Amino acid sequence: MRDTPEQLESYLAGVWRRGDTIETELVDPVHGTVLATASARGLDLKAALDHARRTGGAALRALSFAERAKLIGAVADTLIANRAKYEAIAVANSGNTKIDAAIDIDGGIGTLKYYARLGAPLGNAKFLLDEKPVRLAKAENFQAIHLLTPCHGVAVHINAFNFPSWGLWEKAAVSLLAGVPVFAKPASSTAMLTHAMVRDVIAAKVLPEGALNLLCGSAGDLLDHVTGEDVIAFTGSSGTAAQIRRHPNILSRGVLVNVEADSVNAALLAPDVAAAQPVFDAFVKEVSREMTVKAGQKCTAIRRIFVPAERTDAVAEALLARLKKTTLGDPRREDVRMGPLVTRSQQAAAFDGIGQLAKEAEILTGGATAPAIDGIDPNKSAFAAPTLMRVADASSTHAVHDIEVFGPVATIIPYKSEAEAFALVARGGGSLVASVYGEDRGFFVRAVGEIGPGHGRLLMVESAIADTQTGHGIVMPQCNHGGPGRAGNGEELGGLHGLRFYHQRLAVQGSTDLLAELQAKAFALH
C-alpha cells in the first residue's frame, strides 16, 4: 500500500482519465486511514459510451464465440499472474481475511475460466439458435427460427461494494462471451481491487480496445446517455435499483435492466433432524460460516434460521458454541477469522438494523455496539460482532422477514409444522437462495414445490452430500443467480442461459434454404 492516497482513474474511450476534485475516500476499515480517492466529476460519459459501442462492440461481434472465449481465458490468465497483490488490496480496503479475499478474487477468476471453457465448444458460431425451425404455412419451404443475436449496445455493470472482483468478472465474463462491451461501475468504497485488476488487463492488451471500460467515482449523468440498445446489470440495494428503473431515460428508451437486490435468505432444518445427526451438525456449521465469512456481507448470506420449535435451544446452543470460537480483529493477523465491515457507514447501518430486529427478537450474542478488540480503535474501525438473535413467537414477528441487516447477523425462528415452516420462509418476499437440511426426500420434494417459486436457487443438503456440497452462499456459474420479488426479479450466470440477457431473441421467417444458412452460423441451445 502507498504512504499517500492513490487517486483512482477511470478507463474511458481507450484512455486512463482522472476526475476533478475528490468525491470519495477509500478507507482501511481497521485503522481508518485513507488508502485512495476516487472521482468521476468532469468526465465525458456520453463519449465513453459511444466509444464502447462503436469500437468495442464492433470488435467483439466480429469474433466468433470460440474466439471470444479465448479472450476471456486470457483475462483470467492475466489476473492469475498478478494475483499476489490483489489479496493485500482486499485485506486493506475491504477488511477481508485471506479466506474472504480468496472467495472474491478466485471466484472472479474461476468464473472467467468457466465461461472460457463453456464458450470454446460454440466454435465459429456468431448466433444462438433457440428452437428448431417451425413451418408457418402449407408450403414446406416457408418456415421460421428463433435466433439470439448480440446487442449492439453497451453492458453497463453497476456493482456492489462486497465483491469488487467477483461482481466485476461474473458479469463481464458473460457479456464478453456474448459479444457486448463492458462498462463497469464499481462501488466507490471498495473500488481499489476492481481498479487494480482492470489496469492489469488493459496493460496486458488481451482485449480489443473499447471492450472493457471502467468508471471510478459517482455515476453522475451516466444513465442519461444509455440507449435502447444498451443493457444495465445492477447489484445493490432495492432503493437504488428502484431509482435506476424509474430514471426517465431508462423508461423512455425501454432499457433492459437486470437487478439483484435485497434478500433475507433462509436456512431450514427439516422436522426429522435430531441434534445428534450429522446433517444437524452440517446445518449449524453452514449457518455459522454464512454469518462470519466476509463479516456476513454477502447478498446470499443466511439471515433467517428456521428450526422445529423443539430444536430451538439445541440449535441456539450449538451456534453460540461455534460463534464463540470466531476471532475478530485485524485480518492481517493469521489467527483472525473475521474482519470488519467495509466502512463505518455500513457499521452504522448494521447497528440500526440490529436495533430494529431487537424490538421483536432476543439478542443471544453480539449486539448493536462495537466490540472491544485489543489494539483496535473503535472510533476509527468498522467492526461488528457476530450477532445471533432468536424469535419467541414466529406468528407475531414481522421485522425479521422485512429487514436485511448486511452484516454478521442472523435470527433463529421456530416453527411448529411443515406448513408453517413453508409459509414463514415465503414471508421473505423473494430471495436469492434458501437451504434445506434433512434426510426425508419427500420433505425436499414438497419444499421445492412450496418455497421454490420464491427463490432463485435451493440447496438441498442430506448427509450423503454434507461434506461435498459447495455451500449456501457460494454462487456457482453453472447455476442461476438471482431471485424473484424483493430480490430483484433478475437472473445472472446459469451457464449458457446467462447469455440471453445480452442478446435479442429474434424470430426470422423465410425460406428453408435461407434459414439453413443462418442455422449453419448458429449454435443450437437445445
User: Which of helix, strand or coil describes residue 352?
Assistant: helix
* Residue 306 bridge partners (DSSP): 268, 413
Q: HSE of 394 in the Cβ direction (CA atoms, 13 Å)?
A: 22
| Ramachandran region, residue 294 (left: φ > 0; alpha: ψ -120 to 50; beta: rest) | left
Residue pair 26/19 in contact by the 8 Å Cβ criterion: no
The answer to whether 411 and 361 have CB atoms below 8 angstroms apart is yes
Q: Treating both helix axes as pointing N-terminal to C-terminal, what angle do 98-119 and 65-81 enclose, rounded to 10 degrees?
A: 160
Is residue 236 within 8 Å of residue 160, measured between CB atoms? yes
Cα separation, 418 vs 413, in Å, equals 13
Distance CA 379, CA 422 (A): 43
Nearest to 434, CA basis, from 182, 264, 213, 198:
264
Catalytic residue among 170, 260, 286, 462: 260
Catalytic residue chosen out of the listed positions 299, 462, 491, 492 = 299
User: In this structure, are residues 241 and 407 in contact, taking their beta carbons and an 8 Å threshold?
Assistant: no
Q: For residue 9, indicate whether it is catalytic.
A: no
Alpha-carbon Rg for the chain, nearest whole angstrom, is 24
Single-letter amino acid code for the residue at 282: A
List Cα–Cα distances, 129 to 50, 229, 270, 496, 517, in angstroms.
29, 21, 42, 12, 12
Angle subtended at Cα 295 by Cα 336 and Cα 273, rounded to the nearest 5 degrees: 100
Pairing of strands 127-129, 134-135: unpaired
Q: At what angle do helices 98-119 and 83-94 cross, to 10 degrees?
A: 130
Give the three cell numbers for residue 84: 499476489
| Cβ count near 332 (within 10 Å) | 13
Residue pair 512/481 in contact (Cβ under 8 Å)? The answer is no
Half-sphere exposure of 250 (CA within 13 A, CB side): 17
Residue located via cell numbers 473503535 = 378
Contact by Cβ (8 Å): 481, 457: yes
* Residue 260 annotated as catalytic: yes
Q: Of 168, 236, 187, which is closest to residue 40 (Cα–Cα)?
A: 187
Residues 6+ apart with CB under 8 A from 3: none
DSSP reduced 3-state for 509:
strand
Q: Cα torsion at 307, 308, 309, 313 (round to 10°)?
A: -60
Of 326, 347, 346, nearest to 337 by C-alpha is 326
Residues belonging to the active site? 260, 299
